[in-house]
Amino acid sequence: MALDVLIFRAEIAVALVMLLSGAVAAWASANVAKRIVGLLIAHLGAVLALAALGLPDAVLIAGTGVALAHLIIGAALLVRLQEAYGGVEAREFDAADEQTEPTEPTP
């Protein structure tokens, strides 16, 4: 019994760690590919936690499906960004965007 509880808690802990680290990676990275991977890890962490909690399989599959959808769209954006900017660093995008941003002239 105690072992079950321990395993359960370990699963939840691992899932939460995945979720958090994925989220941090997704938000803080400069590299677009790393951000998307971080997102995927975060999603998988959430699905793992759901599995540990014992939710029905349909929920798990659908959750994974949503994660996949994010991955696909993220990959598509990655490719387009690479085409448009020639790189995958967020800093470059921001710098390039600032130059073309319509601004207000000083009065």
Partner 1 sequence: MIAEGLELARINSPLLLVTGPLVGAALAAAIPNARASWAIAAIAAILAAVLAFDLGWRGLFTAGSTGVSRHDGAGLFVVPLLAGGGALVTLALGALSKDVSERAAPFAHALVLVVIAGWCGALLARDLFSMFLAVETAWLAGVGLAAVNAERDRAALSGALRMLIAGGVGAALLLLGVGFVANGVGEVRLLAFAETRIAAPELTSIGVGLILLGLAIKAGAAPFHFWVGSAFGRTGAALVLGALAALGAVAVMVRVAGFAFAAPDLGAGVAAVLTVVGAASVVIGSLHASGARNLKRLAAYAGVAQIGCILLSAALGSPAGLAAALVQMFAMLAAALALFGGGAAIGGVALPSLDGLGRRAPLASVAISVAALSLMGAPLTVGFLGRWRMIEAGVGVGWWWAACAVVAASLAGVFYAGRLIDRLYFRKSSAPYVGEGGGWRWLFAPMLVVAILAILLGLEPAWLLTAADAAAARMMGLAP
Which residues of the shown chain bind partner 1 in the complex (CB under 8 A)?
Answer: 19, 22-23, 26-27, 32, 35-36, 39, 42-43, 45-47, 49-50, 53-55, 59, 62-63, 66, 69-70, 73-74, 77, 80-81, 84-85, 90, 93-94, 96-97, 100-105
Q: Which residues 6+ apart lie within 8 Å of 29 measured at CB? A: 35, 38, 90
Closest CA to 80 of 43, 36, 39, 38: 36
Q: Across-strand partners of 96?
A: none
| Shortest distance in whole angstroms from residue 69 CB to partner 1 | 6
Helix (H) or strand (E) holding 78: helix 57-85
